């Protein structure tokens, strides 16, 4: 892919505009600016191609005198540009397009884009799902890919007007910034490079998921560093093995699996709630309202009924383990991701008043099957005595002893047992320690790890999570330690902190997983 920056040229001719290109390697997200100029420009795309296709556009004459630095550049002084009314209008439009004062961080989640596209285009909160199954739309190549609302309309902006804004550009703050501050110039350049790196990833996801047969190995490699929201529904279903990699079989598979779940619900609840296992149903009815009590979505009675049916049907089909507290948390990321692919509004703060029943039914069925796939890989965490969790806690204790002997000795001296705080970390996969949005980002990497993501790699994530608080924990006694670990302060965490945590976990896994002697104390 070739991404293109526009910038104002500090040379004699006052009306010249030229292009500096960025070489985006498919193997790396790192971008190297060619040309060496510190001046960031405006990102341009071709409205006649896909939203991610770069192009070179010839603009009308520009006003060259931006600052003293530009005016004094070159052997001769820059001449004053003619004040053509059309050019002035173009400059005003271009300036206002980038003036997003008060916007969110440019790298925030794509929910900002979903709200923006909803306000600018389709006023209906429901995405068009009449022609394709949930989460799939037909691309120009004929393959089924996830829906990406608003990108088409954004890409149709005429190049003679203000530059078209990509969905992820919405929060970029470049308004009225002068080029005289080197630190500001460097920060702007880093923002643009980082943004274009993300756009390159979006294009690679789009290209990969549009293939007739998706290469799962490539998808796992690409998903490890996070999945763009518009592709997450389809990517998760492929990584879970719920959707086939062959595009021609996906619609038929979705129809069949959703019908199977509908038949299961009809059979299970055919004789009413009175015929259900009273103890099991009672426990589920207690736990479901406790699931993310601060979320508007999961406190909606209709959504709670969906979760209750999912949990009871799963427990009924798996009598060896049955329902265990904590499983109710594990279904929520699937439900939220799949629902967000069907509606235009932010589902986490939405109600079911405007959502058609058939959409909820399909999301419920998809969530059930993906939860089943997840629990099949960690089922020994939920059978009698939960031996899987005990093994994970034991491994975590050994890891901490090798990674940070001082912390391990301090916890032992204070009488802190790992099972006292780490049981919940393993049982709920850290979902009660980090926000739901950050949990979804973590699951991108877990699913990319394959079958061992939730059973093995998660232990290294817990180790990195505990080691992160070493300086604080070393100053605490038993009571303070337990109170701290039961309410770790992660409310302000963003995707950046999660990515650092995952990177540290990967480092620990590389050091210790394939070298068991590293576990033994000397």
Does 99 have pLDDT greater than 80?
Answer: no
Nearest partner of 461 among 505, 511, 427, judged by Cα? 505
Q: What is the DSSP letter of 78?
A: P
Is the pLDDT reported for residue 299 higher than 90?
yes
Do the Cβ atoms of 111 and 229 come closer than 8 Å? yes
Which run of H or of E encompasses 32? strand 31-33
Asked whether the beta carbons of 473 and 410 are under 8 A apart, the reply is yes
Helix (H, G, I), strand (E, B) or coil at 420: helix
Q: How many helices (H) and strands (E) does the chain have?
A: 20, 6
Radius of gyration over every alpha carbon of the chain, rounded to an integer in angstroms:
26
Q: Domain 387-519 belongs to what topology?
A: Cyclin A; domain 1 (1.10.472)
Q: What's domain 240-377's architecture?
A: Orthogonal Bundle (1.10)
- Of 313, 366, 314, give the one whose Cα is nearest residue 339: 366
In whole angstroms, give the CA distance from residue 422 to residue 300.
Answer: 31
**pLDDT, tens only, 434-482:** 999 999 999 999 999 998 999 999 999 999 999 999 999 999 999 999 9
In angstroms, the first-to-last Cα distance of the chain is 51
Angle 339-137-141 from CA coordinates, rounded to 5°: 155
| Structure-model confidence comparison of residues 408 and 69, the more confident one | 408
In the chain, list all ranges with CATH 1.10.472.80. Answer: 387-519
Q: What six digits make up the tokens of 36?
A: 């060496």
Residues sharing a CB contact under 8 Å with residue 300, sequence separation 6 or more, in sequence order: 351, 352
Tokens of 280: 């099991």
Overall average pLDDT of the 411-421 stretch? 97
Residue 111 contacts residue 118 (beta carbons within 8 Å): no
Q: Which among 459, 457, 456, 479 is positioned nearest to 467, based on CA atoms?
A: 459
Give the rounded distance of the alpha carbon of 434 from its chain centre. Answer: 14
| Residue predicted with more confidence, 168 or 82 | 82
Average pLDDT for residues 10-37, to the nearest whole number? 40
Query: What pLDDT sits at residue 439?
Result: 98
From residue 512, how far is each of 150, 224, 405, 422 by CA, in Å? 45, 20, 15, 20
Q: 3-state class of 193 per DSSP?
A: helix
When comparing pLDDT for 490 and 17, which is higher? 490
Measured CA distances, 345 to 119, 348, 352, 384, 509 (Å): 10, 9, 11, 41, 38
Of 126 and 479, more confident: 479
Rounded Cα–Cα distance for residues 335 and 354 (Å) = 17
Q: Is the dihedral of CA 520, 486, 292, 288 positive or negative?
A: positive
pLDDT at 90: 53
- Contact yes or no for 291/432 (Cβ under 8 A): no
Asked if pLDDT for residue 177 goes beyond 50, the answer is: no
What is residue 300's DSSP assignment? S
| Residue 88 reports pLDDT greater than 90 | no
Q: Which residues of 442-452 are buried (b: 16+ CB within 10 A; e: fewer)?
A: bbbbbbbbeee
DSSP state of 379: G
- The CA-atom distances, in angstroms, between 212 and each of 119, 248, 310 are 34, 8, 32
Q: Which of 7-16, 89-98, 182-191 has the lowest mean pLDDT?
A: 7-16
Record the tokens describing residue 425, joined without a space.
């970390």
Q: What percent of the chain has pLDDT over 70?
A: 64
Q: Where in the chain is the domain with CATH 1.10.8.270?
A: 240-377
CA-to-CA distance for 317 and 268, rounded, in angstroms?
A: 10
Per residue in 330-358, pLDDT (tens digit) is: 999 999 999 999 987 788 777 788 889 99
Residue 296 has pLDDT above 80, yes or no: yes
Q: What's the mean pLDDT in 87-116?
A: 46
The better pLDDT of the pair 174, 304 is held by 304
Give yes or no for residue 184 having a pLDDT over 90: no
Report the pLDDT value the prediction gives residue 514, as an integer from 0 to 100: 76
Q: Could you give the count of Cα atoms lying within 13 Å of 322 in the half-sphere of its Cβ?
A: 10
pLDDT class of 41 with cuts at 50, 70, 90: very low
- Would you state the pLDDT for residue 400? 97
Average pLDDT taken over every residue of the chain = 76
pLDDT tens string 422-445: 999 999 999 999 999 999 999 999
Per-residue pLDDT tens over the stretch 219-272: 999 999 999 999 999 999 999 999 999 999 999 999 999 999 999 999 999 988
- Which letter, b or e, does each residue of 117-150 get, where b requires 16 or more Cβ atoms within 10 Å of its Cβ? bbeeeeeeeebebeebbbbbbebeeebbbbbbbb
Contact between residue 282 and residue 325 where contact means Cβ atoms under 8 Å apart = no
- Sheet strands side by side (includes 31-33): 31-33, 17-24, 2-8, 42-43
The C-alpha atoms of residue 414 and residue 401 are separated, in whole angstroms, by 15
Q: Helix (H, G, I), strand (E, B), or coil: what is residue 432? A: coil
The pLDDT assigned to 189 comes to 81
pLDDT at 198 over 90: no
Q: What gap in Å lies between CA 110 and CA 453, rounded to an integer?
A: 25
Residue bearing tokens 């770069």: 54
- Summarised one tens digit per residue, pLDDT across range 275-291 is 999 999 999 999 999 99
């Amino acid at each position: 892919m070739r991404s293109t920056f526009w910038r104002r040229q500090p040379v004699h001719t006052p009306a010249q505009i030229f292009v500096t290109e960025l070489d985006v390697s498919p193997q790396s997200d790192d971008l190297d600016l060619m040309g060496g100029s510190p001046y960031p420009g405006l990102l341009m795309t071709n409205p006649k191609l896909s939203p991610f296709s770069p192009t070179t556009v010839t603009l009308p004459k520009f006003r060259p005198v931006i600052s003293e630095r530009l005016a004094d550049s070159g052997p001769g002084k820059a001449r004053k540009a003619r004040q053509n009314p059309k050019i002035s209008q173009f400059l005003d439009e271009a300036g206002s397009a980038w003036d997003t004062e008060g916007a969110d961080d440019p790298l925030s989640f794509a929910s900002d884009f979903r709200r923006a596209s909803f306000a600018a285009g389709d006023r209906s909160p429901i995405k068009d799902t009449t022609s394709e199954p949930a989460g799939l739309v037909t691309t120009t190549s004929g393959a089924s890919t996830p829906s990406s609302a608003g990108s088409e309309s954004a890409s149709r902006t005429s190049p003679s007007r203000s530059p078209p804004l990509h969905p992820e550009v919405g929060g970029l703050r470049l308004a009225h910034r002068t080029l005289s501050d080197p630190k500001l110039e460097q920060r702007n350049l880093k923002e643009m490079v980082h943004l274009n790196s993300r756009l390159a990833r979006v294009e690679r996801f789009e290209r990969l998921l549009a293939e007739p047969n998706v290469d799962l190995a490539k998808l796992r490699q690409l998903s490890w560093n996070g999945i763009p929201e518009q592709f997450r529904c389809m990517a998760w279903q492929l990584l879970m093995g719920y959707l086939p990699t062959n595009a021609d079989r996906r619609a038929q598979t979705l129809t069949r699996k959703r019908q199977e779940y509908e038949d299961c619900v009809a059979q299970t609840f055919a004789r009413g709630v009175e015929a259900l296992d009273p103890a099991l149903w009672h426990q589920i009815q207690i736990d479901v309202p406790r699931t993310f009590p601060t979320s508007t979505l999961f406190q909606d009675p209709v959504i709670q009924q969906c979760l209750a049916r999912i949990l009871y049907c799963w427990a009924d089909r798996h009598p060896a383990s049955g329902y265990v507290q904590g499983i109710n948390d594990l279904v929520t990321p699937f439900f939220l991701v799949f629902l967000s692919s069907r509606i235009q509004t932010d589902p986490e703060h939405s109600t079911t008043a405007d959502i058609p029943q058939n959409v909820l039914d399909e999301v419920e069925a998809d969530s059930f099957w993906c939860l089943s796939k997840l629990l099949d890989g960690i089922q020994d965490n939920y059978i009698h005595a939960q031996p899987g969790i005990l093994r994970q806690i034991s491994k975590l204790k050994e890891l901490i002893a090798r990674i940070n002997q001082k912390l391990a000795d301090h916890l032992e001296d204070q009488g802190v047992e790992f099972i006292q705080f780490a049981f919940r970390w393993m049982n709920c996969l850290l979902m009660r320690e980090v926000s739901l949005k950050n949990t979804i980002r973590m699951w991108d990497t877990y699913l990319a790890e394959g079958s061992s993501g939730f059973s093995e790699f998660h232990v290294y994530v817990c180790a990195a999570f505990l080691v992160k608080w070493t300086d604080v924990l070393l100053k605490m006694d038993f009571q303070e330690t337990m109170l701290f670990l039961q309410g770790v302060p992660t409310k302000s965490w963003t995707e950046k902190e999660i990515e650092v945590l995952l990177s540290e976990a990967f480092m620990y896994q590389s050091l210790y997983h394939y070298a068991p002697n590293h576990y033994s104390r000397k």
